[in-house]
Amino acid sequence: MKKELVKGLNKMVLCRVLQMLKLIFRKPMLTVFASKVFINQYKAYNKRKNWLLEDVIVPPVMIVSITQKCNLQCKGCYSKVLHTSNANELNEVKFRQLLVEADQLGISTVFIAGGEPFIKKRLIETTYNFPNILFPVFTNGLLIDDNAITELNEHKNVIPIISLEGDKLQTDERRGNGIFDKTDYLMQKLNEKNTLWGVSITLTSQNFSTVVNNNYIKDVIAKGCSFVFFIEYVPVDEQSEYLVLTSLQRENLISKIKLFKKNINAVFFAFPGDEEKTGGCLAAGRGFIHINAQGSVEPCPFAPFSDMQISNVSLKEALQSKMMSTIRENHHLLTETKGGCSLWANKELIKEMIKAETSN
């Protein structure tokens, strides 16, 4: 993996942070917070540069799925299908140590995922001790009560990202009756309390026309949303493949997001769409790494392959594992697919590469 590519990626991440901060600076009460974020992100950027001089590739982002448990039973949920281990989940001690190492290495953003992260309230509280790191927390929002909102306002680097499915019919059909209204009520409360928050929209062939729509997005922004994550649905079995975006929808998505970024006052992210600017898939430490609820170090949440446990090795060692290195060095073999996730689509190829490398 070329160092020039890593340097370019780090600079791009810093540019996206600046874009985010411009939005935050428009809210006077967040000015001090925005200034601290820039300073911390720039320090982390320099840490990653210094590690690169020692041939250690440190991604700017780490995703930690802190639990498999969830209070919902959403149809087609990748987490329930791909991560079914009964092993013990990360506790506060291991999670804290992981964040200490991430901070030392220069990982400046840690996405918290699940299951439903707010089930593990004590792990969420652990993030409050790491003000140098941004923690977007991907959540269905149903466990965020008034006390949680107060805590989030005290620790603004922990940012709830509320999962949306589309309109009331689409949301309740996939998530359960009444979920749309509960989510809508939460967004109103977050706005009233001036909490910094965003949304994550899983794009499927079924909800595409509803959510990739000016009126829908403007309505969400009007409720106080600052960040919008568009995440293409990744099929986890044959029964869910019909939910994958069509080729025409993916082409339309690219042009639509460009218009959103130009005309709507929010910060937009698209996965895997934004990866194309950096030559494709960013997994395996190229741009991010995933730690699952049991501490297995994986290339990506959608690619549950692992050769190391974070309880047995340091995060630095995990980033340099044979599996991660093999995937990064063979990145040219992984092309994007109709489902968006090249690692998942090429899982058999990856297994063969890892097997060949580890047997040497």
For residues 326 and 357, the answer to whether their CB atoms sit within 8 Å is yes
Closest Cα partner for 195 from 275, 139, 234?
139
Distance CA 181, CA 183 (A): 5
11 in helix, strand or coil? helix
Burial class (CB in 10 A: 0-12, 13-18, 19+), 5: middle
Average pLDDT, stretch 212-225?
A: 95
Residue 153: per-residue pLDDT: 95
- How many domains would you assign to the chain? 1
CATH classification at residue 108: 3.20.20.70
Query: Is 301 within the bounds of a domain?
Result: yes
176 pLDDT exceeds 70? yes
19 pLDDT exceeds 90? no
Query: Is 13 within the bounds of a domain?
Result: no
Q: What is the pLDDT of residues 180-196, one digit of tens each?
A: 999 999 999 999 999 99
For residues 257 and 249, the answer to whether their CB atoms sit within 8 Å is no
Closest Cα partner for 272 from 360, 195, 340?
340
Q: Which two tokens stand for residue 83?
A: 């991560």
Sign of the Cα torsion 173, 268, 283, 313 reads: negative
Question: CA dist 315 to 112, 148, 289, Å?
Answer: 17, 30, 10
278 in helix, strand or coil? helix
Segments forming the whole domain that contains residue 84: 59-358
Average pLDDT, stretch 235-242?
A: 74
355 pLDDT exceeds 80? no
Residue 84: per-residue pLDDT: 56
